[in-house]
Amino acid sequence: MVRLFIFGIAAALVLGDQFFPSASPVAGVLAAFATFAVGFLARPIGGVVAGQLGDKRGRKPMLVLALLVMGVSTTAIGLLPSYETIGILAPVLLVLLRVLQGIAVGAQWGGAMLLATEYAPPGKRGLYGSLVQLGVPIGVVTANSAYLITEAVTSDAAFAGWGWRLPFMAGLLVLALAWYIHTRVEETPEFRQAEQRLAEDQKSQGAARSPLREILREHRGTVLLAGGSFAVNTATFYILITGVLDYTTRELGMDRGPVLLVSLLVSCFQLLMIPAAAALSDRIGRIKVYEIGAVGLLLWAIPMFLLIDTGSLVGLATGTFIGSLFLSIMYGPQAALFAELFSAEMRYTGASLGYQIAAVLGGGLAPFVMVLLLETTGTSMSVSAYIIGLAVIALASITVLKRRSR
């Protein structure tokens, strides 16, 4: 996740100037956020391919492959020459590398989530699943810290010239993580049992089962409901860590460093709240906790931007801290909830598709939609309305999932 947030912060701060210099400031930011969104559009491809293979061949090999692709593509972005050096080839290569990042993330989440939840002891699946979810605030903390340190030790010209590239070298650490998982982590017991059942079915039926075909034929409603329930969370999250960074520094005239610091502190707060919400879901139920978070986002969408619009650090911190509380309440139990929607034989495929649909509808497009709404309407209340609309969809999806669970 660190690599994803490094790209998001870079898109808000420098990528428009580096790779789309002929555009106006607003158009450059839109182009950079559109490139950011391209990666999300590619994520379902990774989810489908890795899900199909992960349900048939194992969770671990797909996770290792996804990490390798992510590490190489992230490092390559940090080394990519700018528009000034190689012209139109620079944004073309940037988009291609971002697509590879998207495919890798689409493949990665399902494998990591299943390794955590399928190893969980009874009554602890929510808490164990939240360990994967902690990758998000850890990624934000690491990415913001990297840019704060880089900004502190370089001049504005040096930061724009080469300083922004340094955090992308974190891709090399991902390659080391892939090697560690490949050599030290065993396949999950639940997959081994599912693999045996699939082999028996194939022997008795004379044909191999396809998890993807079964999901699309019998469980596509569950996949769509899962995606609809989570889109508001991922959209609001990316609005807060990338869209608000651009909005506060470019439109409200706030200093970049303090805004990054607020984002960093908010993510530290989430490191505590995500496992707490997940542990609570182990006691009172996933959907009940999930629903509380969705209602909170719906009610807080307007006050949050009224506080941000004050242009003060106190207003920004208050708005984003409370917003992140509701995000954490939803995000904590989400991995376990999605895992429990599908049987082990099709869990990688189903959970990945549900998550990545939400990522496309919410996360990838959210910063782009935010800038577009602000420029079109001239008011941040349009962004609040966008969040409210997604929250209504989430609550409707959760209601149907709750009835099905009964």
Predicted confidence band of residue 61 (pLDDT cuts 50, 70, 90)? confident
How far is Cα of residue 206 from the mean position of the Cα atoms in its chain? 40
Query: Which two three-digit tokens encode residue 384?
Result: 């609040």
Closest CA to 142 of 41, 247, 241: 241
Please say if the pLDDT value at position 69 is more than 90.
Answer: no
pLDDT for residue 161 is more than 60? yes
pLDDT (0 to 100) of residue 322: 95
Give CA separation, 240 vs 8, 10, 11, 299, in Å. Answer: 11, 15, 14, 16
Q: What does the DSSP 8-state code read for residue 186?
A: P
- How far separated are the first and last CA of the chain, in Å rounded? 34
- C-alpha 265/C-alpha 270 separation (Å) is 9
Task: Name which of 263-277, 338-352, 372-386 the model is least confident about.
Answer: 338-352
The encoded tokens of residue 350 equal 């189903």
Q: Residue for token digits 């949050």?
A: 304
More confident residue, 375 or 174: 375
More confident of the two residues 354 and 171: 354
